[in-house]
Amino acid sequence: MSPVPAVVIAAPASGSGKTTVSTGLIGALRTAGHRVAPFKVGPDYIDPGYHAVAAGVVGRNLDPNLVGTDVVAPLFAAGTAGADIAVVEGVMGLFDGRILPDDADGGPSGFGSTAHVAQLIGAPVVLVVDAAGHSQSLAALLQGFVGYDPSIHVAGVVLNRVGSDRHETVLRQACARAGLPVFGVLRRDPHLQVPSRHLGLIPAAERRDDAVRAVAAMATTVGAALDLPAIVAAARSRGQGPVDAWSAADAVATGGSGSGSGGSGARRPIVAVAGGAAFTFGYAEHSELLTAAGADVVGFDPLNDPLPPGTDAVVVGGGFPEEHAEVLSANEPLRTGLAAHARAGRPILAECAGLLYLATELDGHPMAGVLDVVGRFGPTLTLGYRDGVAVADSVAFVAGERVTGHEFHRSTVEAGGEITPAWAWRDHQGSAGTHGFVQASVHASYLHVHPAGHPAAVTRFVSAARRAAEVTGSGRDEAAERTG
């Protein structure tokens, strides 16, 4: 079977308009009758939300740092099932990636960069250039990007924020000198901007109807400005051969640990996964792995819902609880229910926003009180990949297990007493430290870990949920008794 056509939307630098072009292109291709598979390079959770609105299917991430190079192409193959074209939005500049300790010069392209992922999936690149400050010298810039790494196929250019007809003419001449076709021209249009705040774009799940309208506007404008047939033709030049698609079931079977599905006679534990406007950060593969490991996954919104009946384990991922602290605090049934859940020894896995929600308070608002920590929103951004080592055994990880995760937050937490840390790592200055918390059945930290890179952690978590249900009595049975 031939590989699904794909194109990678990249740029010389951040802020060039990749998200607008990518989201608009996804929507325009869908309007034209294509079944589009959307992807985002790197750990970012927000852009895939807009991709999902545009494509009508879930947006997925491709990040060698979080899952390993061998898993990227299989994840891509899995995500393109049923699609006839894929659009991959890059991260930062085309060659900007992580410089590993044993590769001080970063190599021709940084690890996990857009170029690196384009290589791994064999897809051509379309370069989005913020043309606002460019004229003839654009030719030199483009020639540099084309020649920097010959293994990367730059198929063409999208000129963004072009000022006038004369400006467009000069820029097209520069692209011709560089030997690159122009796939489209977007004029300066402030209406295409997506609102931002302290951690970047506001997630689509928080904007809802506004997000749908914004994506529709992007699709209309980008669809009219870009040469869609030319981009589809470029996507069909993808050079990678067939790759076995990633499977959650296979990942659990070959990379998992613990009891897995638990056998035909084992009851499937219920794992409640937080969602809604306050908890929008999560990878699609997480629920798929939980299901493959033997759990029944149930979503709930901490802004409005109680803990789902029969819950055996809880996952509270990332998001923006600081934007919703008052409403989260007002949902007292969930706060008390989650605290009782933890006291009963049932597992909780919390990342970043989830950590803040488990605190006693966040910016003065009472939270679940599962952990004796206080959360505060602050002015300093903590951002970057972390190579962590598990300090202690927990419901998801074993002591000594190594992971690469990602931090992205402006908040801090202060512990009120002694709690076992979850992770140890060295910062960029080489200083060692411990991070996060392990307490009985709770694992909570700021570190985002991609489950597809660590399927064993998922099966351990599901196994812990099953054991807790057997030892303490199922929450499902307790709910039945209360209503019976």
Helix (DSSP H) and strand (DSSP E) numbers for the chain: 17, 21
* Both tokens assigned to 184: 């489209």
Verify whether residue 352 is a known catalytic residue: yes
Amino acid at residue number 201: L
Amino acid at residue number 396: A
- DSSP assignment of 387-445 equals EEEE-S--SS--TT-EEEEEEEEEEEEEESS--B-SEEEE-TT--EEEESEEETTEEEE
Beta bridge partners of 404: 387
Of 460, 465, 470, 466, nearest to 394 by C-alpha is 460
Buried b (16+ CB within 10 A) or exposed e, 406-443: bbbbebebeeeeebebbbebeeeeeeeeebbbbbbbbb
* Both tokens assigned to 323: 């934007």
Main-chain phi, psi angles of 387, to 5 degrees: -95, 100
Q: How far is CA 344 from the centre of its chain?
A: 31
Element at 73 (helix H, strand E): helix 69-79
User: Which residue has tokens 């997630």?
Assistant: 203
Q: For Cα atoms 361, 363, 369, give the angle at the middle one, nearest 5 degrees.
A: 5
Q: What SS3 class is residue 273?
A: strand
Element at 18 (helix H, strand E): helix 18-31
Strand segments (E) across 55-122 = 60-62, 85-89
User: Which parts of 163-293 fold into alpha helices (H)?
Assistant: 165-177, 204-207, 209-225, 228-235, 248-255, 284-292
Q: Active-site residue among 94, 352, 355, 452?
A: 352
Cα separation, 186 vs 175, whole angstroms: 15
Q: Which distant-in-sequence residues (6+ apart) come within 8 Å of 114 by Cβ? A: 8, 10, 41, 90, 91, 92, 93, 94, 95, 96, 97, 125
Q: What SS3 class is residue 23?
A: helix
Distances (CA, A) of 141 to 9, 128, 131: 17, 12, 11
**Angle at which helices 46-55 and 209-225 pack, to 10 degrees?**
70
Q: Which distant-in-sequence residues (6+ apart) come within 8 Å of 475 by Cβ? A: 270, 307, 309, 310, 311, 312, 341, 346, 469
Distances (CA, A) of 23 to 119, 232, 349, 396: 22, 15, 31, 35
Residues annotated as catalytic (active site), given as ranges = 352
